[in-house]
Amino acid sequence: MNDSLFDLLKRVDTPTVCNAIEVAQGKRGFDAFTRGTMFASGLDGVMVGYARTARIAAVTPPSEPPEVIKARRMAYYKYMSLGPRPAVAVVQDTDVPNAIGAFWGEINTNVHKAFGLTGALTNGVMRDLGDLPDGFTVVAGSVGPSHGFVHVIDFDTPVEVMGMRVAPGSLIHADRHGAVVIPDDVIPRLEAAIAQLFKSEKVVLDATKGKRIGFAEFETAWAAFEASRT
């Protein structure tokens, strides 16, 4: 991903990216996106980056010795501090649908932001909503008060978040709507696809947004809209 594409992706929302991927692929049916309603730490926050993946659990205490858990936690932090940037932490909570442990709060968001990550995507829990740092978006499956017995199970392996499968290194775009995995073969064509999408949408929006029109005017505008998409 070049700087131009990164800057563009930071300015558009995730539904736009989802539609643009279909434009680039020349067909409908793209399905590498999250399912269900998610919670965002900010209304305007967008995260873009390569996935740094992990799995956690929190409902019950870990069965392994404390020194093993501590060593894995520090290895996890080292892993998150490395790798290509921009990066997004993508963390699967294996307790879902019974997740109770907020891994993402004031401490972890500030740590991961300091590592240079742009945000965190999880099917699990976030908290400390009034104390999360600016410039680091969290998109989570739920909001709750406790960290439970949260601990890292593993990292740098494929994960699944809200029905979306994510391999380490996948390019992620996420905001308050949810998240998508941008296919590798689409990346070189994505800027042009977004421009084409905006151009076609402008046809119908210019004819309708903030206006009162009749069906005949709409029919003409919609025909032009359809023609611009083919």
Name the amino acid, one letter, at 12.
V
Sign of dihedral through CA atoms 188, 196, 167, 71?
A: positive
Q: Is the peptide bond before 86 cis (omega within 30 degrees of 0)?
A: yes
Least Cα distance to 78 among 53, 109, 115 occurs for 115
Whats the size of the chain, residue-wise? 230
* Exposure of 8 in the CB half-sphere (CA atoms within 13 A): 17
CA 227 to chain centroid: 32
Residue-by-residue DSSP string for 5-51: HHHHHHHS-HHHHHHHHHHHHTSS----B--S--EES-SS--EEEEE
* Residue 128 known to bind ligand: yes
Amino acid (1-letter code) at residue 212: R
Interhelix angle for 3-11 vs 190-208, to 10°?
A: 30
Separation between Cα atoms, residue 150 and residue 202, nearest integer Å: 47
With a CB cutoff of 8 Å and minimum separation 6, the contacts of 170 are 50, 51, 90, 181, 182
Residues that constitute the known binding site: 127-128
Residues that constitute the known binding site for substrate: 127
Residues that constitute the known binding site for Mg(2+): 128
